[in-house]
Amino acid sequence: MPLHDFSVIESTLREGEQFSTATFNTEQKMEIAALLDEFGAEMIEMTSPLASPQSEADIRSVVGMGLRPRILTHVRCAREDVLRALDTGVHGIDIVIGTSPQLMQHSHGKNIAQVIDTALDVITFVREQSPDIILRFSTEDSFRSRESDLLRVYLAVADTGYVNRLGVADTVGFATPNQVYALVHQLVRLTGLDIEFHGHNDSGCAIANACAALEAGATHIDTTILGIGERNGITPLGGLVARLYTLDRAYVAKYNLPMLPILDAMIAEFCHIGIPFNNYITGASAFIHKAGIHAKAVLADPNTYEVLNPADFGLSREIAIGHRLTGWNTIRDRAMKLGLTLPDSIVKHVTQIVKAQADQATLTLAQVDALLHQAAEEHAVSGQ
Applying CB under 6 A, the residues found at the interface with ligand HCA are: 15, 74, 94, 96, 138, 140, 167, 169, 171, 198, 200, 230
CB closer to ligand HCA out of 12 and 351? 12
Contact flags string 8-47 toward Cu ion, x per CB under 5 A: -------x--------------------------------
What distance in Å separates the CA atoms of residue 347 and residue 47, rounded to the nearest whole number? 60
Q: Tell me the CB-side half-sphere exposure of residue 1, using CA atoms within 13 A.
A: 11
CB closer to Cu ion out of 38 and 202? 202
Stretch that binds Cu ion, among 7-15, 51-59, 314-322, 364-372 (CB under 5 A): 7-15
Would you call 198 a catalytic residue per the annotation? no
Closest approach of Cu ion to the CB of residue 15, in Å: 5
Out of ligand HCA, Cu ion, none, what residue 37 binds, judged by CB under 5 to 8 A for its kind, is none
Alpha helices per DSSP H over the chain: 2-5, 26-39, 53-64, 79-87, 101-103, 112-129, 147-160, 177-191, 206-215, 237-247, 259-270, 292-300, 328-337, 344-358, 365-383
Closest approach of ligand HCA to the CB of residue 333, in Å: 48
CB closer to Cu ion out of 144 and 290? 144
Out of ligand HCA, Cu ion, none, what residue 138 binds, judged by CB under 5 to 8 A for its kind, is ligand HCA
What distance in Å separates the CA atoms of residue 114 and residue 120, rounded to the nearest whole number? 10
On whether the CB atoms of residues 214 and 173 are closer than 8 A, the answer is: no
CB closer to ligand HCA out of 150 and 331? 150
Closest approach of Cu ion to the CB of residue 287, in Å: 31
CB closer to ligand HCA out of 207 and 358? 207
What distance in Å separates the CA atoms of residue 65 and residue 12, rounded to the nearest whole number? 17
Out of Cu ion, ligand HCA, none, what residue 167 binds, judged by CB under 5 to 8 A for its kind, is ligand HCA
Out of ligand HCA, Cu ion, none, what residue 329 binds, judged by CB under 5 to 8 A for its kind, is none
Please identify which of the residues 74, 289, 294, 323 carries the catalytic annotation.
294
Q: Give the residue among 361, 305, 283, 373 at the shortest CA–CA distance from 337.
A: 373
Out of ligand HCA, Cu ion, none, what residue 96 binds, judged by CB under 5 to 8 A for its kind, is ligand HCA
What distance in Å separates the CA atoms of residue 4 and residue 254, rounded to the nearest whole number? 10
The vertex-169 CA angle with 251 and 235, nearest 5°, equals 45
Out of ligand HCA, Cu ion, none, what residue 355 binds, judged by CB under 5 to 8 A for its kind, is none
Number of residues that bind Cu ion (CB under 5 A): 1
Out of Cu ion, ligand HCA, none, what residue 140 binds, judged by CB under 5 to 8 A for its kind, is ligand HCA
What distance in Å separates the CA atoms of residue 207 and residue 214, rounded to the nearest whole number? 11
The neighbouring-strand residues paired with 94 are 74, 136
What distance in Å separates the CA atoms of residue 217 and residue 184, rounded to the nearest whole number? 7
Closest approach of Cu ion to the CB of residue 307, in Å: 29
CB closer to ligand HCA out of 230 and 306? 230
Q: Give the residue among 315, 317, 321, 285 at the shortest CA–CA distance from 304.
A: 317
Closest approach of Cu ion to the CB of residue 338, in Å: 52
Alpha helices per DSSP H over 216-316: 237-247, 259-270, 292-300
Q: Give the residue among 64, 118, 59 at the shortest CA–CA distance from 126.
A: 118
CB closer to ligand HCA out of 7 and 138? 138
Closest approach of ligand HCA to the CB of residue 266, in Å: 22
Closest approach of ligand HCA to the CB of residue 4, in Å: 23
What distance in Å separates the CA atoms of residue 297 and residue 119, rounded to the nearest whole number? 58
* DSSP summary character for residue 292: H
Residues that bind Cu ion (CB under 5 A): 15
Question: Which residues are known to be catalytic?
Answer: 294
